Every structure is written in C-alpha cells, then in structure tokens.
Amino acid sequence: MKSTVINYPFFIGSIVLALLSAWFIYRDAKCRDYNPAIWVVACIFTALTVGVFGTLAVVIAYFLLCPRGKLFICPHCSGKYIYKLAFCPHCGKPVKKECLGCHDLMGLDAKICPHCGLRDI
C-alpha cells in the first residue's frame, strides 16, 4: 500500500537530533565567539528541509570551520572562553588586563607582562 503520510517517528527523531546538535553547537560557538545564532538556524533549517543528513553536514562543517584553541574558565561566571578573547562571551566582563607599559593584553592574574616584562603593581 502506497502512503503519503509523514513518517512521524523519523520526523520527530530528526527534529530532536537537530535541537540537540543546535544546543551543543550554540554552547561551543559561544565559548569560541563564533556566530552561535547562525549555526543554530542552520541546524534547524537543514533538519526541516534536508533531514538528518543535513543536520549531520552542518555539525561536520561546524567542527571543520570553528576556531580551534585552548578554552579557559572565566573567573567571574565560570563560563568557558577561547584564549584570544579579552572579554568573557557569557558575562561580558574582562578576562584580561592591559599592560601599562606596552598596552598589550595579559591574564588578569599575571604579575609580569609577558610581552615587555613590566611588573604589574
């Protein structure tokens, strides 16, 4: 018997997978300051148009394209952020301070500037 009824368990499964992927990518992209909203839209959009394989393609594309680098813990809100940021992407507070000598950025708890050697007092 030929049927045009939507395969609901499969459809719901692909939506759940898309939402889980979107949630995971959103959290990771926010830490890396990498357009979290665009990736969430891409996950949901491909799930609705292409299906499961569209979502998987977006997840793979994200891991190929996302900025790599060490993640640090924000001293203010305990959220994670990628090393190159000067402000926490979660709470907006500074996670680095400016050296008074060379005006380069260094860690909030650094005692000596790693760029010019000036001692912070």
99 scored as a contact of Zn ion (CB under 5 A): yes
Q: Are 84 and 69 in contact (CB under 8 A)?
A: yes
DSSP 77-115: T--EEETT-SB-TTT--BSEEE-TTT--EEETT-SB-TT
Q: What's the rounded Cα separation, in Å, for the pair 83 and 76?
A: 15
Q: How far is the CB of 33 from Zn ion (least distance, A)?
A: 12
76 scored as a contact of Zn ion (CB under 5 A): yes
Smaller CB separation from Zn ion, 32 or 59: 32
Q: Report the residue from 31, 40, 88, 105 that binds Zn ion according to the rule CB under 5 A.
A: 88
Q: How far is the CB of 118 from Zn ion (least distance, A)?
A: 5
Q: Would you tell me which residues interact with Zn ion (CB under 5 A)?
A: 74, 76-77, 79, 88, 90-91, 99, 101-102, 113, 115-116, 118
